[in-house]
Amino acid sequence: MRSEELHETLLPKRLALPIFASDPLSSVAYATQEILLVLTLGGLAYLHFTPWIAAAVVALMAVVVLSYRQVVHAYPSGGGSYEVVSSNLGASAGLVVAASLLVDYVMTVAVSVASGVDNIISALPGLAEHRVALAIGFVALLTGVNLRGLRESGRAFAAPTYLFIAGVLIMVGTGLLRYLLGRPPVAESAGYGITGDPADTGLAGFALVMLCLRAFSSGCTALTGVEAISNGVPAFRKPKSKNAATTMAVMGAIAVAMFVGVTTLALVAKVHITDDSCRLTGLVGDCGSHTQRTVIAQLASAVFGGESSFGFYFVQAATALVLILAANTAFNGFPLLADILAQHRYLPRQLHNRGDRLAFSNGIIALALAAGLLLWFYKADVTSLIHLYILGVFTSFTLSQTGMVRHWNRELRDEGAAPETRRRGQAARVINALGAVVTGLVLVIVLATKFTQGAWLAVVAAVLLWLMMRGIRRHYDATAAELAAPDPRAELVRPSRVLVIVLVSTLHKPTLRALAYARAFKPDQLEALTVAVDREETASLERQWHELDIDVPLKVIDSPYREITRPVVEYIRSVRRSSPREVVGVFIPEYVVGRWWEHLLHNQSALWLKSRLLFTPGVMVTSVPWQLTSSARADHPAARAPGSVRRGEPPGGRAASPPAETGRGSEPEG
Amino acid sequence: MRSEELHETLLPKRLALPIFASDPLSSVAYATQEILLVLTLGGLAYLHFTPWIAAAVVALMAVVVLSYRQVVHAYPSGGGSYEVVSSNLGASAGLVVAASLLVDYVMTVAVSVASGVDNIISALPGLAEHRVALAIGFVALLTGVNLRGLRESGRAFAAPTYLFIAGVLIMVGTGLLRYLLGRPPVAESAGYGITGDPADTGLAGFALVMLCLRAFSSGCTALTGVEAISNGVPAFRKPKSKNAATTMAVMGAIAVAMFVGVTTLALVAKVHITDDSCRLTGLVGDCGSHTQRTVIAQLASAVFGGESSFGFYFVQAATALVLILAANTAFNGFPLLADILAQHRYLPRQLHNRGDRLAFSNGIIALALAAGLLLWFYKADVTSLIHLYILGVFTSFTLSQTGMVRHWNRELRDEGAAPETRRRGQAARVINALGAVVTGLVLVIVLATKFTQGAWLAVVAAVLLWLMMRGIRRHYDATAAELAAPDPRAELVRPSRVLVIVLVSTLHKPTLRALAYARAFKPDQLEALTVAVDREETASLERQWHELDIDVPLKVIDSPYREITRPVVEYIRSVRRSSPREVVGVFIPEYVVGRWWEHLLHNQSALWLKSRLLFTPGVMVTSVPWQLTSSARADHPAARAPGSVRRGEPPGGRAASPPAETGRGSEPEG
């Protein structure tokens, strides 16, 4: 029953595909367009380079998918590129990957949302002037949903992703069939000419190559997110690695089919798109207010018969939805990476405690703020954002493939392995070496063509993150060294005497409970302490104390300026000075309230006092809570954190089922 | 020596005047202008009503100053209008005054800053387009200064206030002298005509009276801040009440002299000013971009020989500075009122603990945010803001004078008093009754003429504050009832058994110290508890525990999802369920760090766990701090709160000198 339950929560391939592939597949929505936008900088003539560039992208995708299938087999624990690089190329290189990936999560949100908004505007042009507001609204929506702790659900992902795949493939099939039948679809922009940008027209030799390389760099956005499956192997059903590798191959095939199909159809239908409407010729009306539709929208309109056809709205809706889901994957993927980095002490330790919602919330808010700022700054323009995107992806590709080569080198050094294993390892090494060389080459191309166009910002951000994470690790190491106990027995020596001081303001139930609990500890000395902030109240307290004949001495300290913290801290320090070997326990009665605004009305003094007392050596601070009836409202457990489905963790979070298997190293396959 | 020291920190009249009078005197900078702006709505012809309106304002000021001199004598404790009304007309009426005053503090900041910026722009017209940014910048500056805890200093106030008084009086004197010598100063706007607003031209009868009443209402801004001295009596040197009353009389005389002088000079120099530049006739150039200078600036320019004269810049600089200082008085006055309201439990209790900087900071930030929003919303336009200002002032004037009448009625009922005292009381009662009638009349006028122009917003804000404060008081009363112990002895019964649980993650110094301290308490049962979030770490801990042969059992609880809080809370609840009469003490080792960012890296789990444990009845939570070396950085006492000079409190804040005398009731005079 229990293992069946666990099996139920693990993902079958048909659900894993949409969860992990919504990000890489959704990039089909903008990859072709970005290639065309660069080529038309030189005018319409350069569009004939499109097939070659698309072919290069497809070849690259094949190499990357093949390479990552090796990662899936070799590292079934789901550590992904960061784990591969850390364990094979060292911690600093691993940290480079981690920083790149963190930047990439931000870019995934920004680019996917911007492109989603573009496709919404293509269907509803009236929204064009609200582009930035829409984009930031979607980021806010995703933030809210993820802060609420909504779990990713395979089913919720499945429908939009499959509808997107089906919609695009049907569109491509219909369009190409019409082409073969001699009635090719004609894009709305087919009649426009494009004047090249003066800087990029009439290029030859090196300059022409550079333009093509820029187009290729932009087309490489089709590869973003391909590695997602390698991070999620533990979420697959058994045999995990094999199922993950199969899913990866299927995803690669679908991505290639969609990308090739859309690109071919764009050429067939003569989509003429440019980064500046004012370079279009043959335009009716003012170029400044002309909004070009996305390539997907132009194709859907041309194939399905105009902007009011069902097919057009269907494709646009599915595209926008899948892009928003792709953005959501970053909200789920970010905590997973942060978790691992926190475990290695490169990020605050609490990110490793999954039950701590607060820490996750901070991560989600940081991600959303960064993405929102970029969307605002770049006016939600996909093309500008793309420049920042690809660098991190290829940094992690290159380093992880290089790491895999090292991995196989080490594996093959073990001469005792079976010949079949050795042969498989050698083949894998060739694949990964090819992957490393090719992605490294692309990295250089991207760096060369995109650096000045905005990629420098991504580099700066990654470097800062890298420095910060190294700093955090150093701080943790220094703290650990300071806290280490070379002689634990000496630290365990019992203090000679304990003095307990109970803080008292009025004689209500919380105070009386604190007194009762303090007496239960039977300290060597017990006293009650009150600060005379109000003469009348203090006099009344002393009277009551006397009447009740409480067997604990009540000490009153003066506070001319109605401060509480300073006189108490000074008194306790003076006690400590006069008998340094004594330990002082300060008991503070507190009320526990349930409504957020009640916190503003209570316990502020106690909170401040506690935080100051902690600075005094030899003092321990005890909160004695008294639960007011309203406190029951707030007594609920923490919700689950995002990213759990990707981890293969069962729902509910109660300790009902055993933890998902997360062993390291190679997994034997069935 | 000590009493001499105390005497030193109390304010001599020459320093008290600038501290308390910068607010009322600074309103001279805009009161005349606001009268003119209303009258010119009907065209230039109506300017001949100016002397009558100014005379009414002066008469009103005389009545109010005389009335408040009675308050100063009768209530030397400095409670001001709130205290007078609460103790004579009841708590609800007192709360109305409090709400009005809180709104007024916001308006003081907004109006003073807006007028200050106006006078800066009059000297440096290039800044005109940055009006709102300048105003919000000044609010931010004042906020920063007050958050830093800079103490108000009599000396810092003295120079600008006296320079302002001197500057304006010299300007008035020179101008009137030139008039007497037959060479009257001529304002730059003297040549312009003014077309009346169609709605307000050719008025007669009731409509004309209403226009004059509107002008009078606007002119009443001259009275804002007059009551400040009555709040600050404890800060004066002895005989406090007499010195305060004298200072008040001097302030009133100066205010009247300045107001009458500026108004007379404005008529002599023919300052033609209107709320809409496009109603000016004879203007060269575009009326939309024409900026009218303030009345003060036009007069200074006309008297001292143009806009590049030293006199002009001097008057403008002094005016702007005194207006910014006036805004600062709200930052100092607000905490004083909040302090008293918190003492009466109408505001969060911590506002009454003066040492708690955090609470003051919240108040300062709330004040700054509200003022900033108003400045932004009303584009830093003095005239629009003035509409919201005067209502609260006159609400508190009217209620406090009415309260004073009741006060004297009660005093005079005591027939045993000396005849001289009775005569003085009877005279005072007449003055206060006159004050109540006159200010009540003005309140009705202000309400009738300003309500639809923006004053409704001030009414709504005051009503909301009033409801909030009543709600807070009710909550405190309900809590007090719930916490009251009808049978204190029963609550004091010692628990039967104490179980202490020490939370352990690794065996470093903080953990060992927590263990040692827990043992010092000699509980009935002691155990160590660890959560197995990481198998290796847990195994290593168990090994060390065994090797060290620690005589405390180590209990390991599983946490499949690496949560800490939930398993611990559930374990402790299960312990409590199985033995409800037992008390559980949870000891949590913590490190104390000094840098703000270190808090992000440490103790987050402990913090969260503590906050959850407090919801479990029968549990007390003990923090055992370990001070890291960096903690010394943050171990400094809280700074003094703003408003202390007004209270007559000595600097430094250490309990070196006794508290300032704050006795209630009448003070015998020397």
Q: Where are the domains of chain A?
A: 12-281+290-414+422-473, 489-634
Instruction: Say whether A592 and B614 touch across the interface (CB within 8 A).
Output: yes
| Residue range B474-504, pLDDT digits in tens | 999 998 888 888 888 888 888 888 999 999 9
Distance CA B90, CA B115 (A): 37
Query: Is B316 an 8 Å CB contact of chain A?
Result: no
Closest CA to A352 of A341, A339, A361: A339
3-state secondary structure (DSSP) of residue A505 = coil
Distance from CA of A439 to the nearest CA of B (A): 36
Q: Is the pLDDT higher at A251 or at B360?
A: A251
d(CA B316, CA B163): 11
Upper half-sphere CA count for residue B230 (Cβ side, 13 Å): 27
Closest by CA position to A226, among listed A459, A57, A404: A57
Q: Do B583 and A517 touch (CB under 8 A)?
A: yes
Task: Collect all residues of chain A within an 8 Å Cβ-Cβ radius of residue B548.
Answer: 488-489
Q: State the number of CA atoms in the 13 A half-sphere of B633 facing the CB.
A: 11
Count of other CB atoms within 10 angstroms of residue A653: 21
pTM: 0.72
What is the domain class of A12-281+290-414+422-473 according to CATH? mainly alpha
Let me know: does A403 contact A115? Beta carbons within 8 Å: no
Chain B residue with the nearest C-alpha to that of A524? B521
CA quadruple A398, A404, A409, A412: dihedral positive or negative? negative
Chain B: closest CA distance from residue A90 (Å): 22
User: Is 90 exceeded by the pLDDT of residue B520?
Assistant: no
* pLDDT of A210 above 90: no
A521 with B516: Cβ contact below 8 A: no
Task: Indicate if the pLDDT at residue A80 is higher than 60.
Answer: yes
**CA nearest A490 in B: which residue?**
B512
Query: Does pLDDT of B365 surpass 50?
Result: yes
Interchain contact, B491 vs A512, CB within 8 Å: yes
**Which of B347, B472, B511, B512 is the best mutation test for A, with the most CBs of A within 10 A?**
B512
| Res B420: pLDDT | 85
Q: Given a cut of 70, is residue B515 above it in pLDDT? A: yes
**Cβ <8 Å between A625 and B619:** yes
End-to-end alpha carbon distance in chain B = 23
Is the pLDDT reported for residue B150 higher than 60? no
Strand pairing category for A619-627 and B525-532: unpaired
Q: Is B507–A521 a contact, with Cβ atoms under 8 angstroms apart?
A: no
Answer yes or no: do A563 and B517 touch at CB < 8 A.
no
**Would you say residue B667 has pLDDT above 50?**
no
Max alpha carbon distance in chain B (Å)? 106
Task: Give the Cα separation of A156 and A423 in Å (integer).
Answer: 42
Q: Output the six-digit token pair for A445.
A: 């191309």
- Cβ contacts of A50 within 8 Å, gap of 6 or more: A35, A36, A39, A215, A263, A266, A267
Taking a C-beta distance cutoff of 8 angstroms, is the pair B164, B318 a contact? yes
Long-range pairs of A472-478 with CB within 8 A, sequence gap ≥ 24:
A472/A345, A472/A346, A472/A347, A472/A348, A472/B601, A473/A344, A473/A345, A473/A346, A475/B598, A475/B601, A476/A345, A476/A349, A476/B601, A477/A345
Distance CA A426, CA B399 (A): 94
* Chain B residues lying within 8 Å of A565, measured CB to CB: 355-356, 638
Q: Judge whether A245 and A72 are in contact, CB under 8 Å.
A: yes
- Tens of pLDDT, residue by residue over A339-363, are 888 888 898 877 775 555 555 677 7
Confidence tier at B61 by pLDDT (50, 70, 90): very high
pLDDT for position B133? 93
Contact A485/B512, CB-based, under 8 Å?
yes
Confidence at B660, pLDDT banded by 50, 70, 90: very low
Which of 3.20.20.20, 3.40.50.620, 1.10.357.10, 3.40.50.300 would CATH assign to domain A489-634?
3.40.50.620
* Cis amide leading into A184 (omega within 30): no
Q: For A107-139, what is each residue's pLDDT tens digit?
A: 999 999 999 999 999 998 888 889 999 999 999
Average pLDDT over chain A, rounded to whole? 85
Q: Which residues 334-353 in chain B show a CB within 8 A of chain A?
A: 343, 348-350, 352-353
Structure tokens at B254: 């100066």
Whether A66 contacts A225, CB under 8 Å: no
Q: How many CB atoms lie within 10 A of CB A313?
A: 15
- Of the pLDDT bands very low, low, confident and very high (cuts 50, 70, 90), residue A634 is low
B295 neighbors B266 (Cβ within 8 angstroms): yes
Q: Is the pLDDT of residue A560 over 80?
A: no
- Mean pLDDT for B332-353 is 81
Whose tokens are 């007392």? That residue is A613
Q: CB B353 to CB A587 under 8 A?
A: no
Residues in B 481-520 with any Cβ partner in A closer than 8 A: 482-485, 488-489, 491-495, 498, 507-510, 512-513, 515-517, 519-520
B247-282 pLDDT, tens digit per residue, is 999 999 999 999 999 999 999 999 999 888 888 888
Lowest mean pLDDT segment, chosen from A371-375, A439-443, B519-523: B519-523
Same fold, A12-281+290-414+422-473 and A489-634: no
User: Does A150 have pLDDT greater than 60?
Assistant: no
Mutate to test the interface with A, among B545, B568, B604 (most CBs of A within 10 A): B604
Is the CB of residue B268 less than 8 Å from the CB of residue B182? no
Residues of chain B found within 8 Å of residue A492, distances taken between Cβ atoms? 512, 515-516, 519, 550
| C-beta separation of A176 from A254 below 8 A | no
Q: Does A521 touch chain B (CB under 8 A)?
A: yes
Give the nearest partner residue to A563 out of B354, B494, B521, using CB atoms: B354
Residue by residue, what is the 3-state secondary structure of A194-255? Answer: ECCCHHHCCCCHHHHHHHHHHHHHHHHHHHCCCCHHHHCHHHECCCHHHHHHHHHHHHHHHH
> Do B355 and A563 make contact, defined as CB atoms within 8 angstroms?
yes
Distances (CA, A) of A162 to A17, A316, A322: 9, 14, 9
Q: Do the Cβ atoms of B375 and B135 come closer than 8 Å?
A: yes
Number of A/B CB contacts below 8 angstroms equals 271
Query: How high is the ipTM of this complex?
Result: 0.73
Tell which residue, A450, A170, A414, A435, has the closest CA to residue A312: A170
- Residue B526 near residue B518, CB atoms below 8 Å: yes
Query: CATH second-level architecture of B10-282+291-475?
Result: Up-down Bundle (1.20)
- Minimum distance, in Å, between the CA of residue A494 and any CA atom of chain B: 5
A residues 591-620 lying closer than 8 A (beta carbon) to B: 591-592, 598, 600-602, 604-605, 608, 610, 613-617, 619-620
Tally the residues of chain B.
670
How does pLDDT run across A612-621, given as a tens digit for each residue? 888 888 899 9
pLDDT for A355 equals: 52
* Helix (H), strand (E) at residue A625: strand A619-627
Segment B341-345 mean pLDDT: 87
| Average pLDDT score over chain B | 85
* Res B154: pLDDT: 64
Of A485, A561, A657, the CB nearest to B354: A561
> Which of B349, B617, B638 is opposite residue A565, by nearest beta carbon?
B638
Is B661's Cβ below 8 Å from some Cβ in A? Answer: no
Between residues 525 and 584 of chain A, which touch chain B (CB distance below 8 Å)?
Answer: 533-534, 544, 548, 550, 558-567, 569, 583
CATH architecture of B489-631: 3-Layer(aba) Sandwich (3.40)
* Portion of chain A with pLDDT greater than 90, in percent: 41
Q: Are A550 and A511 in contact (CB under 8 A)?
A: no
Contact between chains at A491 and B509 (C-beta distance less than 8 A): yes
Return d(Cα B41, Cα B498) in angstroms, integer: 80
Residue A596 CA to residue A598 CA, distance in Å, equals 5
* Minimum mean pLDDT range among A449-458, A557-566, B33-42, B526-535: A557-566
Q: B479–A623: do the CB atoms touch at under 8 Å?
A: no
